[in-house]
Chains A and B, each alone.
Chain A
Amino acid sequence: MAESIKRKLEVDLDRCQGHARCFALAPELFGTDEYGNGEPRSGGLVMPEDFEKARLAQRSCPEFAIRIKAWED
């Protein structure tokens, strides 16, 4: 049951311009690569307690580059 409520974070690198706002607002969930582009940590896995943080990052990305999907094992 717990499996089905996990979520997966994705950063669309065609859109990301390296604002790094995801990292500033949710450093537990996002790092950045060598050019400063957003990079989800832990393969993008988000547990329920971090959903709000994940949504905050998504709703703060000015390039609309962050997607939150259902986790598929």
Chain B
Amino acid sequence: MPVNRPPVTDWKEDFDHLDPQWVRDPYPIWDQLRKECPIAHTERYTGAYLPTKYKDIRTIAYDTENFSSARVSLRVERTQAPNPPLTLDPPDHRSSRMMILPLFTPQAIQAYEPQITEICDRLIDRFIDRGHCDAAVEYAQEITARMMARFFGVSEDIGPQFRTWIYENLELGLVEPEIYARSTKEIDDYFANEVAIRRKNPTSDLISYLITTKLNDKQMSDDDVVAALRLLMTAGIGTTWSTIGASIWHLATHPEDLARLVAEPDLMPSAIEEFLRAYAPASLGREVRKDVEINGQQLKAGQMVFMAFPAANRDPDVFPDADKVVLDRKDNKHMAFGIGIHRCLGSNLARTEIRIGLERLLKRIPKFTLDNTKEVIWSESHIRGVRTVPIIFG
């Protein structure tokens, strides 16, 4: 990344979620902090705290009185483009969320299953005879970008552009304010145009739904619809792609789990929850509203909190053998989708994409291993995930 930040030498007082050590393998860092300093701090990114215990993250997620969602990422500047309903606090949050929720219920998502299956099979057709593929680039990211385009009611061809914008907005944008502002504007211009088209000729797609639906006689303004669409796009592709990619990476490096999942397909629902726990991609941010004490530590107003849900999911006080993937884990109150009022809106879509993505791959390519001659790259952002998963079939 084109920014000069000193490497971290003290994770307790100077943590950095973009440090190469964190990007490569954050789990030992979180283990150490949980034992020695359960709420770490940094002066970087306008100042932020890092809780790593499940119970502290839970407490903060539920405490909307002392912790605001007005800023949701740790960036070098304080600016935050509005992302309703994610960036709204009570009481404004509720109506905007209620309007979008019906689009994402399990029943609503079930209607997309044939399309997701068709996309997955079409992608597998492209590489199955080759004997190898990059399961992140050629499969996971293609599934989620194409599906999101269909979900909105726009052409699948926009997929690569979506991915560029996500990279600029969610990764580069954390440290490059100009790239953040430019990509935000480009995304908004794109969706504003799609909204304008549907104002003239409404269709039955998601964008039309958002501009026509009323809740308590109130309609979302076009600006709010555009901002909500930017949220759905930026939150709905890289996250699920990361989890599908990490799940395939896990299976490619753990042949016993791959064989078990192929032999026992009924394990899939609990295996998916376990992949979500162990490889949860998303961390979010909160802003401390007023000075408050959490687990004996004073948090100061105006500072950020890095809500590392993936760290909560590896807390050994809550999950025995937290670093081990147990496909049929029984106690699994993981927070991969966050908890409380900001629970990920798209969790049912995500879960369905992960399930069908894995089911189709395992059905058609039941044996594969990681190609160790190639590099595996992890993303640098609030969204942790593999960006390359080179696998060899058979």
Binding site for B on A (CB under 8 A): 17-21, 23-25, 32-36, 55-56, 59-64
Contact = CB atoms under 8 A, between A and B. Distances in A.
A33 B105 CA distance: 8
Contacts of A62: 333-335, 339
Given A20-B348, A21-B273, A62-B334, A32 B339 contact: no
A56 B330 contact: yes
B273 A32 contact: no
A56 B348 contact: no
B128 interface: no
B106 A32 contact: yes
Contacts of B337: 19
Given A59-B333, A62-B333, A62-B335, A34 B343 contact: no
B273 A25 contact: yes
Given A35-B105, A59-B331, A61-B333, A19 B343 contact: yes
B282 to A, nearest CB: 14
B28 interface: no
Interface of B: 98, 101-102, 104-107, 269-270, 272-273, 330-335, 337, 339-341, 343, 347-348, 351
A32 B333 contact: no
DSSP majority for the B interface? helix
Nearest to A16: B343
Chain A to chain B: the 10 pairs with minimum beta-carbon distance, closest first: A36-B105, A17-B343, A62-B333, A35-B101, A59-B331, A60-B332, A62-B339, A25-B269, A20-B106, A32-B106
B105 A19 contact: no
A59 B98 contact: no
A35 B333 contact: no
Contact of A17 (B105, B107, B270, B340): B340
Contact of A24 (B273, B330, B331, B340): B273
6 contacts: A21-B273, A24-B269, A61-B333, A62-B333, A62-B339, A64-B333
Contacts of B330: 55-56, 59
A62 B331 CA distance: 10
Contacts of B343: 17-19
A62 to B, nearest CB: 4
B143 to A, nearest CB: 18
B50 to A, nearest CB: 20
A36 B334 contact: no
Given A34-B105, A35-B101, A62-B334, A56 B339 contact: no
A24 B330 CA distance: 14
Nearest to B340: A17
Contacts of A55: 330
A30 to B, nearest CB: 10
A23 to B, nearest CB: 5
A36 B104 contact: yes
